[in-house]
Copies of this chain bind each other. A is one copy, B any other.
C-alpha cells in the first residue's frame, strides 16, 4: 500500500486531538448551522468562515506546527498558489517564519497578490517546472518543504473537522464532503472511526469531472475528462494513487451534482444561510438535498467561500 494511505490508517484519536490542539490558535471552531430543508435534519459545517475563507488553513497550519523547530530554521517552502498556499503562508506569518511559495505561471494574479499580502516570497515558474516540484518534492530552496496534498499532516489536520462535527452533533448519520484530492474526506472519515463512530461518508463531485466516481466504478484510479466549469478546487483528472487505498475503503458513496443544482444551492446558501460559498461547498449542499437522504441527520461541509465576485453576482442574479 502507498506510504500516505498506510500511515493515515494508523492515525489514532490521540493523533487527531494533538493536531487539533496544535492549530487551535490558527483556526476557529466553525459553527454547525441548521438549514431547514424538506424531510431531513440538515446542518452546514461552515468552513467558509475560517479567516482566509477555506478549511485549508487547518492542513497548512498543522504541517508547520508538526515540524521540528530545527527543520524550520530556514523557513517554509510550498508549491500551492491556492487556498493551501495561503493557509501555509498565514500559519507561517502567525509564527514569524519566512515562507517561499513556488507558483505556476498559470496562477491567477489575485491569488499571487493574496500570497504577497500574507508576507510570502513568491517565485513564478513555467507550469512544467511547477509540476516537477509537485512530483519530485525537489525545489532547490533551503526551507522546509510542505506538499499541498500528499502529507500525513494534511489528513490529520483536516481530521479536526470530524472531531468538531461529532462534538457539535453526536447524532449525525451522514457527512457529505466535496472531493478535491481526498485530504478532507479522508481526515473526517478517519477521525470519526477513531472516535468509534461510523456515519455514512459521502463524497460529491461536479458533473464536468468525476475522478472518484469513475475510480469507484473501475475499482482503481482512471483518467477522466475535465470539462469546463465555474467551480474550482474540485474536479481533477484522476485520483492520486497514493490516496486511493484510503478513498476505496472510507468513502461509502459518490454523488455527482449538475451545474444547475450547484447554482441553486449557491443561491440557497446566500438567501437562507447567509453564507458566501465557493462552488465546491454548493456541490456539498446540493448532494445533501438529494431524495436518498430523506429522514437522515446529515451534515454538508461548506468547504470554503473564495469565489470570483463577478461569477458570484451573476449566479445570484439568475434567481
Contact = CB atoms under 8 A, between A and B. Distances in A.
Interface in A272-296: 272-277
Given A31-B31, A317-B314, A309 B275 contact: no
A33 interface: yes
A271 interface: yes
A34 interface: yes
Contacts of A309: 267, 270-271, 316-317, 319
B48 A274 contact: yes
A272 B305 CA distance: 9
A313 B305 contact: no
A144 interface: no
Contact of A276 (B51, B270, B314): B270
The quantity of this chain's copies bound in the complex is: 2
Contacts of A34: 28, 51
Nearest to A310: B317
Nearest to A31: B31
Counting chain B CB atoms within 10 Å of each CB, which of A273, A277, A316 scores highest? A316
Contacts of A49: 31, 33, 46, 273-275
A34 B51 CA distance: 7
Contacts of A46: 49
B274 A305 contact: yes
Given A33-B49, A271-B276, A313-B316, 15 more contacts: A28-B31, A28-B34, A33-B51, A36-B51, A49-B275, A53-B272, A270-B312, A275-B275, A275-B276, A276-B276, A310-B317, A313-B313, A313-B317, A314-B317, A317-B317
A169 to B, nearest CB: 12
12 contacts: A31-B49, A33-B51, A34-B51, A49-B273, A49-B274, A49-B275, A53-B272, A274-B305, A309-B317, A313-B314, A313-B316, A317-B317
